[in-house]
Amino acid sequence: MLGSIEAARGQTIVICGATATGKSRLAIEVAQQLGSSILSADSRQVYREFDIGTAKPTREEQQLVPHYLIDLCDPTETLTVADYQQYCTDLIECEHAQRPESPPLLVGGTGLYIKAVAKGLKIPRVPPHPELRCQLEGLGQSYCYQVLQQLDVAAAFKIHPNDATRTLRALEVCYVTGRPMSEQQGENPPNYPILQLGLHCEPQAFDRRLRKRTHQMVEMGFVKEVDRLCRRYGTDLPLLNTLGYAEMKRYLADDMALDEAIEQTVLHTRQFAKRQRTWFKAYPEIEWFDADAPDLRDRILFRIDRFLTSCPRLHK
């Protein structure tokens, strides 16, 4: 245990970065040192039964350190960002109250989840309305965007004309609540200090990590997991169209060979990681560390130690 943990009351630590950068392994080592819990910030790990393809912590890893915010709901359910934010902020408050000397670790690669908590985003609590979305989609993206420009100028200014997902969401919020989404957004940052640490890899090192992890997933039974999920929920389940699962589903349907499915998974994951890096680099508060540095753990613990001793405690 670090000597400065007495100063850790009311503080939270984020460990973020692109997929396959070793966040989970590092977080477990840090959590063991600090006596902390790990709060997952992964938009797919919240779903039960989606385990291998989401790199969900194994049972053995979960026995080493308490893990939360995984297996929250069934694959047929929808967990919104607002739902996640509420779960996470409540857990952080509980951790601060019950384990004041051990700051919780918020760990993952879903940038919007982390931002929702660290920035205290004000998110309209409007669940998806499939029928409304279906009607809007039938109108076409061009027309929907024109409607949004009339109903919510501020939201339309921030949304690309070809971004159908965000356009539909803005219209959905507007029609359901009767108020522009832009009027319901903003930030209300938490009143406790947060240290945000990010892991990055050089391109060649990242590619080696990615290929190794993808092959390990297959060896662990990823194909069987996808087959079981397809049989239980049907191949149209939206989660089965996400990274890795979509490629293995095509293999099971005889649309491609296993080697090709693995290569496609590596390619699409590489593209996804690039988008993740772009997202995280927009936030200067994140301090970056080389995931392949031989002294990474020691450097991270040293930075955390400085944070715990220097930032003010939470006063309630």
CATH number at residue 63: 3.40.50.300
Q: Do residues 112 and 204 both lie within one domain?
A: yes
Q: What is the pLDDT of residues 70-119, one digit of tens each?
A: 999 999 998 989 999 999 999 999 999 998 889 999 999 999 999 999 99
Q: Do residues 144 and 207 both lie within one domain?
A: no
Q: Do residues 159 and 253 both lie within one domain?
A: no
Q: Do residues 89 and 233 both lie within one domain?
A: yes
Q: Do residues 81 and 116 both lie within one domain?
A: yes
Q: Do residues 106 and 206 both lie within one domain?
A: yes
315 within some domain = no
Domain boundary among 184, 204, 224: 184
Is residue 123 scored above 90 in pLDDT? no
316 within some domain = no
Q: Do residues 9 and 107 both lie within one domain?
A: yes
Is residue 6 scored above 60 in pLDDT? no
Q: Do residues 64 and 31 both lie within one domain?
A: yes
Residues 243, 249, 255, 260, CA torsion sign: positive
Q: What is the pLDDT of residues 198-244, one digit of tens each?
A: 999 999 999 999 999 999 999 999 999 999 999 999 999 999 999 99
Enter the pTM of the model: 0.86
The mean pLDDT value for 15-19 works out to 97
Is residue 128 scored above 70 in pLDDT? yes
Q: What is the pLDDT of residue 5?
A: 41
Is residue 186 scored above 90 in pLDDT? no
159 within some domain = yes
Task: Of 121, 109, 124, 83, give the one whose Cα is nearest residue 279.
Answer: 109
216 within some domain = yes
Q: Do residues 170 and 283 both lie within one domain?
A: no
Q: Do residues 10 and 151 both lie within one domain?
A: no
Q: What is the pLDDT of residues 166-178, one digit of tens each?
A: 899 999 999 988 9
- Domain extent at residue 165: 130-184
Q: What is the pLDDT of residue 182?
A: 87
Q: Do residues 104 and 145 both lie within one domain?
A: no
Q: Checking phi first, is residue 120 left (phi over 0); if not, alpha (psi -120 to 50) or beta?
A: left
* Alpha helices by DSSP H, the chain: 23-34, 59-64, 81-98, 111-118, 130-139, 141-151, 153-158, 164-177, 203-219, 222-233, 245-252, 258-281, 296-310
Q: Do residues 224 and 98 both lie within one domain?
A: yes
What's the rounded Cα separation, in Å, for the pair 12 and 248? 37
217 within some domain = yes
199 within some domain = yes
The count of structural domains within the chain is 2
Domain boundary among 140, 162, 184: 184
Cβ–Cβ < 8 Å for 263, 210: no
CATH number at residue 173: 1.10.20.140
